[in-house]
Amino acid sequence: MISYVFFTDYTQPNAALANGDIDLNAFQHYKYLNTEIEQFGYNITSIGDTYISATNVYSSKITDLSQIKEGDKIAVANDAVNLGRALNVLQAAGLLTVDSSKGLVPAVSDITSNPLNLEIVEVDASQTPSLLPDVAAAVINGDYAVDSGLSPANDAIFYDNPSYYTSNDYVNVIAARTADKDNEIYKKVVNAYQTDATEQVYKSW
């Protein structure tokens, strides 16, 4: 039997996995996993790919990007990896330009062009949906969008797309402690996840 443990933000699941409090986690992409391993020295690893979670632009005030005005506020996640992704999404949307040399992790200071003088509001990723009443738009990770009642397939004013990325950095994973990466039961979990039934669930969001 699998027991599910839910966390309220992205800072907890890898620590819990590394500490042995949980056996697997499935919430992050390769870029976030690798950044956490580098920062904290976690002895954890990916044991299977899952999906690319769309990080879309949402709004409760406007219905089209063309309605964004001079000086409007845009909420984004404040951790380096998700902030970088949000800025790249805003660049793909044509709202700003970031320094290409920063790759996947530009910071706000790396914005090189901001024609509308947009104010980038940095908050914890879990808080981006709650800021929708106070900002013109927010770049929201897929899981938090779903948790707040938004449909990543239908409710965005700009849609993230895998074609914007040239690597697997934003492919989500199932992670385990490195010592357990060949655990046969864990492999069965990965196989159960990688099915047509799971794909249909994501398509229904």
Per-residue pLDDT reduced to its tens digit, 75-100? 999 999 999 999 999 999 999 999 99
Taking residues 108-120, report their average pLDDT.
Answer: 98
Q: Please state, rounded to an integer, the average pLDDT across all residues of the chain.
A: 95
Complete domains list, the chain, with CATH: 13-52+170-203 (3.40.190.10), 56-164 (3.40.190.10)
Q: What integer pLDDT is reported at residue 130 of this predicted model?
A: 97
pLDDT for the residue 1: 83
- pLDDT value, residue 96: 98
- Classify the C-alpha dihedral 98-158-128-27 as positive or negative: negative
Greater model confidence, 166 or 67: 67
Nearest partner of 81 among 42, 139, 136, judged by Cα: 139
Rounded to whole angstroms, how far apart are CA atoms 138 and 7? 22
Res 60 pLDDT > 80? yes
In angstroms, the CA 154 to CA 204 distance is 10
Mean pLDDT, residues 92-119: 96
At 128-181, the pLDDT tens digits run: 999 999 999 999 999 999 999 999 989 999 999 888 777 889 999 999 999 999
Which residue has 């901001």 as its token pair? Answer: 114
Calculate mean pLDDT across residues 57-79.
97
The stretch 103-109 carries a mean pLDDT of 94
CA 25 vs CA 9, 197, 203: distances in Å: 13, 20, 22
pLDDT given at position 150 = 96
Contact status, residue 202 vs residue 51, Cβ threshold 8 Å: yes
Count of other CB atoms within 10 angstroms of residue 164: 12
**Residue 78: predicted pLDDT:** 97
Looking at residues 10-32, what average pLDDT do you find?
96
| Predicted confidence (pLDDT) at residue 19 exceeds the cutoff of 80 | yes
Q: How confident is the model at residue 6 (pLDDT cuts 50, 70, 90)?
A: very high
